[in-house]
Structure 1
């Protein structure tokens, strides 16, 4: 009987399946699930680092062994950030920045599928260094909330409108967000003043 697997394998015996493919940066997954509404002063008390990775294979090992966003009970947040950057507005890498926010349009099974797809595509864009202004990107978050779920892309320099606009258009492309659906960019320093997690949009694309 012929070996049906022969045609699916590379020619030669030099393939090393144990070799891992390094990422440009090391990344850390964080998780937060506060049981009560958080104030600005108490933010971060339930935030914890879950795992770090720096290869393609280690990312997929992590991803395939945790819940997807649609399986989380609100309120909950996954953060995926570059190493040495904490997902807090006050972190030195975030303090002068802000975030692009894309809200899931509706509820239901379709929205859950869309949420998981947006999260995965956004994560892959980050760790795969797909942004033309990649040095500006700090991390990405998915927020699970009773009133609506959303994706946030955190960046360093809120004052640079040109760069933020480029990043905003790129994240829309990677998440396959239609032109008819606008996303907004809010500034962390303004959120700290108001104590609100939403904030007023400075830019939209």
Structure 2
């Protein structure tokens, strides 16, 4: 797997930016006593340096945020909010839109990973203003690659998928709309949605690179959204790797 463009920041417990001030405090010098031992300065005493009487000033370094090429929106579809009478996708809710690497880690570290989600939950990460729906104009003519894992085994691959997307690791990254992880009773599925399903060269490139990033050895398939709408679970793969 090639090196990802986003480096992990320390884990946080809030959604604040992971930009910290580093304060370097000046150290008090210690003077020697009559018998040579070290003695703390007396209250009110000003202790000078060897060549200068000026004390060291505290300094601070501000870490600038690292902007991403695209903004991305996390969304969540809560199984408890789904209704058989409601239209598909009506229960999907946005969580947060991020634009920097620091924001990504702040959100990622504070939302449940796939193994901790309830059965029936769906977690999305799509480019800003692209909705994870077949009806979305950008997604309408696209399709999706899918990898499958046993229940509770997709956490690492979900992270690697996100890093590859937001870190612009795909040669045809402009073709990518986003990714979703679907948590079901016996398995977890991760899918990458793309824009132009008929662009077979771009789709095959994305599929091959994705398998390399995940070190995934099983065959994966690509389904057109149009076929999925018409045939539902009977839709067959147009491309396979």
Q: Deviations over 1:166-197 (max 9, x none)?
A: 1000110111102xx00000010111112x26
1:93 counterpart (138, 152, 164): 138
Alignment TM-score, normalising by the size of structure 1: 0.84
Match of 2:225 in 1: 188
Q: CA shift at 1:45, angstroms? A: 1.4
Q: 1:168 to 1:73 in 2, by over 3 A?
A: same
Alignment TM-score, normalising by the size of structure 2: 0.72
The answer to whether the Cα contact below 8 Å between 1:33 and 1:74 also exists between their aligned partners in 2 is no
Counterparts of 1:20 and 1:198, CA distance in 2 = 46
Counterparts of 2:214 and 2:176, CA distance in 1 = 16
Q: 1:14 to 1:31 in 2, by over 3 A?
A: same
Counterparts of 2:206 and 2:227, CA distance in 1 = 20
2:195 counterpart (131, 137, 156): 156
Query: Which structure: greater helix fraction?
Result: 1
The answer to whether the Cα contact below 8 Å between 2:79 and 2:118 also exists between their aligned partners in 1 is no
Larger radius of gyration: 2
Match of 2:107 in 1: 62
Match of 1:102 in 2: 147
Alignment coverage as a number of residue pairs: 184
Unaligned runs of 5+ in 1: 1-5, 7-12
Alignment RMSD, CA only?
A: 2.1
Q: Deviations over 1:38-80 (max 9, x none)?
A: 58x7101110111010000010000111111100011001100
**Pairs within 5 Å for 1:1-205:** 16-35=61-80, 42-104=87-149, 106-107=150-151, 112=152, 114-178=153-217, 181-194=218-231, 196=232, 199-205=235-241
